[in-house]
Amino acid sequence: MSTMKYASLDLGTIEAVFNKLGGIEGAQKFLQGRLQVSEPARRWREQDGVIYLTVTSNGMTGPEWIKYLEKKGFRLSDYAKSVLRSSDFKPTKGVTYEVAILKGMLFEDSQRITKNIRNVATERKFTTPNAEIACLIRDNFSDEDIEAMGLVWIVAMHEPIKDSGGYPNLLHANRNDGGSWLDAYYDDPDSRWHRGLGFAFVVSQVCSQN
């Protein structure tokens, strides 16, 4: 059998696959058909340009989120930290949110502005999320997940929270070459957004504990 078609696999990739299988023992089991490899199940689904996922709140305050996310290696902008430290950031505990994310592709470029996005959400009977939704999404979904969704940012469309300078902001999880971020972006009804973004609202919420 010719091995030419495998020439593009470098030794580092081959070693990574070998290690992923569990070394010699795992590789032998795989070759003998005693080990199956499958893609992990997605924790979200997409339907007609809307992504649906579920997260449950944990009661963490804004300052606690800052400490927790930074400890996990996420990067937080000064704007995000300012919003998280605001008294208007009000966490819940034990609330399970079904989240609907409207993909930017649903809107024409000229119509992808905050007031129109909120109007479409209202028409679909989605509701305004708690700001903690952005933190919960950042914690539960990796950059790879966000990329698989076809997005660069996921903006939580909560009621804007003013930063230390008095400007209204929305928290968002984003991926870029500089790392995995929780950031905040200036918002008003006429703010225009990029096509590669997603806009998170709530379908329903259930209190699972007091």
Residues 20 and 72 in one domain: no
Residue 178's pLDDT is what? 75
Residues 182 and 115 in one domain: yes
3-state secondary structure of 183: strand
Residues 139 and 82 in one domain: yes
- Comparing CA positions, the residue from 144, 110, 111, 136 lying closest to residue 200 is 136
Residue 107's pLDDT is what? 97
Residues 134 and 67 in one domain: yes
Q: How many domains does the chain have?
A: 2
Residues 24 and 64 in one domain: no
Q: Which domain holds residue 146?
A: 44-207
Please give the span between the terminal C-alpha atoms of the chain, in angstroms, as a whole number. 64
Residue 3's pLDDT is what? 45
Residues 72 and 26 in one domain: no
Instruction: Output the CA–CA distances (angstroms, integers) from residue 193 to 4, 116, 125, in the order listed.
Output: 47, 11, 22
Residues 56 and 150 in one domain: yes
Q: How far apart are CA 159 and CA 123, in angstroms?
A: 18
Residues 50 and 148 in one domain: yes
β-partners of residue 47 are: 50
Residues 1 and 26 in one domain: yes
pLDDT along the chain (210 residues), means of 10: 48 58 68 65 91 97 98 96 98 97 97 97 98 98 95 97 96 89 96 96 80
pTM of the prediction? Answer: 0.81
